[in-house]
Structure 1
Amino acid sequence: MRLIRLFLILSLLLLFIPACKEAHHTEDLHKEETHGEDGHKEEGHIHGQASKFVTLEKEIKESIGLKTKKIESSSVPSYMETIGEVIANSNLLVNITPVTGGKVKLIRVNLGDYVHKGDLLSIISSSDLVRAIADLQGGAQKVKIASENLRIKKELAKTGAFSGPPYETKKEELLERKTKFITARENVKAAEANFKAASAEFNRITAMEETGEFGKKPFDEAKMNFAEAESEYVRAKSILTKSEEELKRSENLYKAGIISKKELLSIQTEYENAFASVTQTKTRMDIARNIMEREESFYDKGVRDYAELQSVKAKYAEAEKEYRQALSEFQKAKTDLDIKEHQMKREETIYSNDLNSAYELQQAESSYREAQIEYDRATSVLATFGITPENAGKYTDGELPVFSPINGYILERNINTGEFIYTNTIIFKVLDSSNLWIDSEIYEKDFTKIKMGQTVNITTSAYPDEIFTGKIFYISNTFHQETRTFDIRFSFDNRKNLLKPGMTVNSRIKTDDTPGLILPSSSVLDDEGKKIIFIAVNENTYERREVEAELLRNKEYVIKKGLSPGEEVVIEGAFELRSAVSSEALKGGCQH
């Protein structure tokens, strides 16, 4: 292609010499014509410099593929210009936290590295994981032993070779299981309340962080919630005091033989319920107080920082974990109670009929169920590490790999080898930079000119010839008195990964359309910092003209000055024409 272009240029130079006189004659004619047009084109001058002409023969025009087009006025978009900053798209930004605390044994990536989904980032050595796998293995062994024992007892059941424990012993075991069940139930209620409070706080803080709505309302809500929680706590404490007095009185009555142990246990249960209620309401009150104090601090300072949001997320995760653990304990207590109630019914039948029972078989069944529950609980704990019983053997050394959940760049690396980390530690931030956001501002007078979904053209000094296209997706309702501006945000396609968070960009927002003259980029050439085009004077002669041009899109320019509607412009072959004109300049041109 270069050889062809060089050949064409040499051909032009050879033809240019005999055509020189004709070109100057044409130029003189052109100047006379422009003198008679009442100033139209100002005597063939552009910015005070004489227009230059070149004449080509038909064969050369055809060989270089020279084409012209009459340019008429068309619709040109008007833009509003702003300055903005590239930021990460929070929907494509992943904060990676470890599922367990531990010591950093290995780090495979560095800041700025590109990773694929599933790539290994680091390895955490965790004693919690070692214990969880040991519990799983121990649970599996217990299930195996209990299963074998149950098989043996079933064989013995066929022969009737059983013996049973005393009826009173079973009653006491049942009461013990009921007490444990009630305690576990109250623990679940307390943990559930704490989890709901943390969840509500998490949702509220997250929503406020996204919308930027901060102020007195959260503080007032927190004060009201604290007052309610404090009232509930005082009421629960009063009930506990009364229950405690009743328990002391009942203990004295029991020692005196006035009431039975069953009645005493019932009163003890009521006291434990009251005590659990006090614990639950105090937890709520403490949470409400902490929230109120924090909201008061936020209200006084007028700020909400990122660390606080992360703290709320960590508390939410911890509350969820505690709730699930309490729920697991409650389910175990309920299963134990169901088993004991079933056994008690059988014992009552045996006791009333003075018969030997299949207690040993029931006990074996109960042991098997308990072993299975323990194994299932260990499996659930292991699942929080992302590990199943089938692949648990790979992690007996307690080394837990951390993988990237998405394709993207390592935006932050907050750990070092040998460092001990906790579950709420953000160890990596991975950003999928295929789509980024830009934060910008518009003045009050321009507020009505923009709308959601509006197209934005983005340029930057780093890539002066590139135009990125984005769309507005956020327009703030908050007006900044100091700067008299509104915040806006738009997203753009960055799959080439050219722009980076933190870069400054210039943005142009299309507001309306105005008449103008538009040329393809092939018509507009750079010449020592100026823009030039070629105008067809007649069939074979072309004028080199300086213009003021603005890049409208990647392949088009809007001509601000130097071109009139109806003029014929070279749209293909302009480069070869410029070479001919440049050659004239180097040779000093033809002498008049």
Structure 2
Amino acid sequence: MTRTLRIAGLALALAAASACGDGEKPAESGGKPVVTTPVKLTDLEERIEATGELRAQDHAAVAAEVPGQVTEVAVDEGRFVEAGGIVLAIDPQKRELELSTARARLAEAAAALEDAEREFRRMKRLREQDVAAEAKVDQVETQLALARSRHAAAQAQLGVAERALQDASVRAPFAGWVARRHVSRGEFVQVGQALFDLVALDPIEAEFHVAERDSARIALGQEVRVTVEPHPGEAFAGKVATISPTIDPATRTLRVEAHVPNSDGRLRPGLFARVDLGVALRKNVLMVPEEAVLQRADGQVVFRAGAENRVQRVVVRTGAHRDGLVEVASGLAPGDVVVTRGQAGLIDGALVSPRNPDGTLSRTDVSAAGASEVREGSAFP
């Protein structure tokens, strides 16, 4: 029995010596077992998507420009009106009477002016014959100047009356829909009082924001597809019409507006909209497994394997997610190796025992050139 034990012990010693002679050293004793994975550089195909809101391209609160009683409502709420179409009237009959009065006063002023001119010419001839005094001529000339002034005032008053008659018929400043009417027939309104709200719905605007990293991929005229909850499964085509010249410093996003045809009026202002701007291809995107990224008080962090099996705590900024991987926009570099399992409780500079994803021991050799892995055949506990 004793002989058998000695032979078994000798065999174990020889096996250990053979393993050391191969030049491969196991991970440093005492380190916490962790699984490490090198970062990946991949070409990322992603859709540029955003959320926003539908808005009326034109929206006007039309107010009264003349005082008076509302005598007619030609277009009610929810109805379409062409540009220049009459929506309601504010006592146009009264304005017509005022216009007739202004015309009569102008005719009276024109007759007085003609009489003053005739009298001035007569006086001037008499003065040339030394029949009339110079003072009389001056008096008649002053009367002529007054007549001309009254005539000009009458002309201006006629223009005001014509404009008042025009404003008595309240017209739509653009083609659109009466969204809301604020007054009723028979109500007396003052100048500046809101009468109705008018909105233009064709085309309708989709306002949305895209992330800063996608801002360079947006161009005027770019085609977009808009979806809204009331019409599931249906996408409405549109084109980018406006791009803000600045990035919002608070949200790090770019404001964009797209025009979407809406001749049937099915798209309404205020609807929540999802906007698809198509597919974009980004080359050599740095990505790591999602489980490598931890959320901490100071942001998102990963543990990077360093020299002598020590880890470094690195704050990163992430981006797109695809197939269990997440983009690392900053904080890591090609060739880095990160901890994907066992990082709970790790701190900066902690000693670890690197393992492969299948649980076998691995020696991580991190240098400026990159990282390499050597399998050693020990199972991950």
Deviation at 1:485?
Answer: 4.5
1:140 corresponds to: 107
| Matched residues, number | 234
Structure 1 pair 359–435 and aligned structure 2 pair: CA distance change class (3 A): same
**Secondary structure of 2:174 counterpart:** coil
1:4 corresponds to: none
1:525-579, CA deviations, whole angstroms, 9 ceiling, x for partnerless residues? xxxxxxxxxxxxxxxxxxxxxxxxxxxxxxxxxxxxxxxxxxxxxxxxxxxxxxx
- CA contact 2:182–2:196 (8 Å) conserved in 1: yes
2:158 corresponds to: 379
2:141 corresponds to: 362
Structure 1 pair 118–373 and aligned structure 2 pair: CA distance change class (3 A): same
2:181 corresponds to: 413
CA distance in 1, matches of 2:106, 2:131: 27
Deviation at 1:366?
Answer: 2.0
Aligned: 1:473 with 2:242:
yes
1:39-79, CA deviations, whole angstroms, 9 ceiling, x for partnerless residues? xxxxxxxxxxxxxxxxxxxxxxxxxxxxxxxxxxxxxx952
- CA contact 2:87–2:172 (8 Å) conserved in 1: yes
Q: Which residue identity lines up with residue 47 of structure 2 in the other structure?
A: Y
1:577 corresponds to: none
**Secondary structure of 1:508 counterpart:** strand
CA distance in 2, matches of 1:505, 1:148: 72
Q: Which residue identity lines up with residue 67 of structure 2 in the other structure?
A: G
Q: Which residue identity lines up with residue 240 of structure 2 in the other structure?
A: K
**Secondary structure of 1:488 counterpart:** strand
1:85 corresponds to: 53
CA distance in 1, matches of 2:113, 2:213: 79
**Secondary structure of 1:417 counterpart:** coil
Backbone CA RMSD of aligned residues = 3.4
Aligned: 1:442 with 2:210:
yes
2:363 corresponds to: none
Deviation at 1:508?
Answer: 0.3
Deviation at 1:372?
Answer: 1.8
1:107 corresponds to: 73
Structure 1 pair 454–475 and aligned structure 2 pair: CA distance change class (3 A): farther
CA distance in 1, matches of 2:47, 2:162: 55
**Secondary structure of 2:49 counterpart:** strand
Deviation at 1:370?
Answer: 1.9
Structure 1 unaligned regions, length at least 5: 1-76, 165-349, 351-355, 388-398, 515-592
- CA contact 2:183–2:195 (8 Å) conserved in 1: yes
- CA contact 2:247–2:254 (8 Å) conserved in 1: yes
Structure 1 or 2: larger helix share? 1
Deviation at 1:402?
Answer: 1.6
Structure 1 or 2: larger strand share? 2
CA distance in 1, matches of 2:230, 2:258: 20
- CA contact 1:472–1:491 (8 Å) conserved in 2: yes
CA distance in 2, matches of 1:484, 1:159: 87
- CA contact 1:95–1:426 (8 Å) conserved in 2: yes
CA distance in 1, matches of 2:51, 2:164: 45
Deviation at 1:156?
Answer: 6.0
Q: Which residue identity lines up with residue 190 of structure 2 in the other structure?
A: Y
Q: Which moved more, 1:453-462 or 1:440-449?
A: 440-449
CA distance in 2, matches of 1:156, 1:449: 83
Structure 1 pair 132–377 and aligned structure 2 pair: CA distance change class (3 A): same
**Secondary structure of 2:234 counterpart:** strand
Deviation at 1:451?
Answer: 4.1
CA distance in 1, matches of 2:138, 2:252: 83
CA distance in 1, matches of 2:120, 2:252: 84
Aligned: 1:457 with 2:225:
yes
CA distance in 1, matches of 2:243, 2:165: 37
Identity among equivalent positions (%) equals 16
2:171 corresponds to: 403
- CA contact 1:476–1:488 (8 Å) conserved in 2: no
Q: Which residue identity lines up with residue 53 of structure 2 in the other structure?
A: E
Deviation at 1:425?
Answer: 2.7
Structure 1 pair 367–453 and aligned structure 2 pair: CA distance change class (3 A): same
CA distance in 2, matches of 1:484, 1:358: 80
Structure 1 pair 512–362 and aligned structure 2 pair: CA distance change class (3 A): same
Deviation at 1:106?
Answer: 1.7
In the superposition, the TM-score normalised over structure 2's length comes to 0.52
Deviation at 1:113?
Answer: 0.4
Aligned: 1:120 with 2:53:
no
Structure 1 pair 131–439 and aligned structure 2 pair: CA distance change class (3 A): same
**Secondary structure of 1:145 counterpart:** helix
CA distance in 2, matches of 1:117, 1:485: 36
Deviation at 1:461?
Answer: 3.8
CA distance in 2, matches of 1:406, 1:456: 26
What pairs up with 1:210-221 in 2 under 5 angstroms?
A: none
2:265 corresponds to: 497
What pairs up with 1:61-72 in 2 under 5 angstroms?
A: none
1:69-95, CA deviations, whole angstroms, 9 ceiling, x for partnerless residues? xxxxxxxx95222222110113xx344
Deviation at 1:507?
Answer: 1.0
CA distance in 2, matches of 1:162, 1:134: 41
1:142-165, CA deviations, whole angstroms, 9 ceiling, x for partnerless residues? 22233135335534654569755x
Structure 1 pair 86–131 and aligned structure 2 pair: CA distance change class (3 A): same
| Alignment equivalent of 2:201, drawn from 433, 451, 466 | 433
- CA contact 2:116–2:140 (8 Å) conserved in 1: no
Deviation at 1:513?
Answer: 5.5
Q: Which residue identity lines up with residue 374 of structure 1 in the other structure?
A: A
Structure 1 pair 371–472 and aligned structure 2 pair: CA distance change class (3 A): closer
